[in-house]
Chain A
Amino acid sequence: MSTGHKHDGDHHDHDHEHPAAPMVEEITDYEVLEIAVRELAIEHGLFTAEDHRRFTEWAESIGPINGSRLVAKAWKDPAFKALVLEDGVKACKEGLGLDWAEPTGFGTPSDYTNFIVLEDTPTLHHVIVCTLCSCYPRPILGMSPEWYRTTNYRRRLVRWPREVLAEFGLILPPEVEIRVEDSNQKCRFMVLPVQPKGTENWTEEQLAAIVTRDCMIGVALPRPGRTADVHPIHKARRPVQASAQHGSAAE
């Protein structure tokens, strides 16, 4: 083993010189259950294997990047911003080439094609939730985060929005009104945040990088220097002096 890739003409050795990624090396009944249910559903004619493949492919190909691009483009182009606020679905198609009707031609059964973008101002902040279940603008933001689907978020945000946002580290001054938009069976929402100061001359690409998923849900604000991958790390204020304690114990 471990002889590396060889590409010498028609010989192709599949050995890898890097170690294989770790895998869960046992078959659980959850895995078995998921397969069994799917197979029986197909056999009973509830859907087809092709339908299933297409929906699964779609679910694995979506993410928040289109939302970031939509916001960045709206910040740079006032005419596009007007379209975004007037008709979100049309703006997605014309500005990004994103068609809410995919993958079936009429959207997915779980994502209704009525999409409204909520514009923040310096004195008005929006945040989205689905108190009923987990409605989320998946075609443009991808799959919802785990916490979005928790009862903790869904039930408490509508009652105590300022406090719940503070739990995400977003502390808004009292003069900023918070409006919670409850997604429903027919509507999907997304937040258009205020463009941060100091980014006026940035490119769309630079701007899109700071518009993370959470900014478009409304639990964070875009800030220069903070992207999905990069943000300043807060040092623990009172770390346990582990090395000192171990040192004294060993003495």
Chain B
Amino acid sequence: MSVTSDGEPGRIGLLEAIRRQGKEWDVLAPRYGVTNPNPPWKTSLIGTNEGLAAGGALPALERRKAEDELGDAVYRDVPAPERELLALVHTMLSRGLLAEGELAARMRAVRSRLEEA
């Protein structure tokens, strides 16, 4: 996990920008009259978590421990499914499994693809 000089988990610009938008499912769902308790990407996130653990890239216990720590220190005000996603990505970036620049570029490409559809 990335830490600041005082030992606290650091914040990541890309993820902070997403969080500041306030587009969590529990805000959006009632706005559109949707009653599903979880966003549609939630089970896909489970598949990613399991895939990372199965291949040995990020063991489940280490992911969960990091999620607890980041959930307390950085993402305390984010509701559950989004907190789980942000904590996972935060952990992957901190461990070098992903780079922030490549992730930002891929997000732009994915958004462009979705908006064309």
Contact = CB atoms under 8 A, between A and B. Distances in A.
A130 to B, nearest CB: 9
Nearest to B29: A24
A109 B82 contact: no
A51 B23 contact: no
Interface in A182-196: 185
B28 A40 contact: no
For the complex of A and B, 10 pairs with smallest distance between CB atoms = A47-B51, A56-B47, A109-B53, A133-B64, A55-B50, A55-B47, A22-B33, A36-B106, A34-B41, A46-B57
A35 interface: yes
A25 B32 contact: yes
A41 B97 contact: yes
B114 interface: yes
Contacts, number: 151
A47 B80 contact: no
Contacts of A59: 43, 46-47, 50
A28 interface: yes
A53 interface: yes
Interface string B24-63: 1100110111100101110111111111111101111100
A86 interface: no
B50 A28 contact: no
Contact of B50 (A31, A60, A109, A149): A109
A29 B107 contact: yes
Residue of A37, A39, A40 most packed against chain B (CB within 10 A): A37
A132 interface: yes
Main SS class of interface, A: helix
Contacts of A36: 103, 106-107, 109-110
Interface in B55-103: 55, 57-61, 64-65, 67-68, 72, 80, 82, 85, 88-89, 92, 97-98, 102-103
A57 B108 CA distance: 27
B18 A30 contact: yes
A28 B52 contact: no
B6 interface: no
Given A40-B98, A132-B64, A31 B106 contact: no
Contacts of B44: 34, 38, 52, 56
Contacts of B98: 37, 40-41, 44
Contact of A24 (B32, B55, B82): B32
B97 A28 contact: no
Given A29-B23, A44-B97, A34 B50 contact: no
B53 to A, nearest CB: 3
B103 A185 contact: no
A46 B52 contact: yes
Contact of A22 (B25, B34, B60): B34
B110 A109 contact: no
Given A41-B97, A55-B46, A56-B43, A30 B85 contact: yes
Nearest to B80: A146
Q: Which of B18, B44, B115 counts the most A-chain CB atoms under 10 A from its CB?
A: B44
A104 B54 contact: yes
Contacts of B97: 41, 44, 46
B51 to A, nearest CB: 3
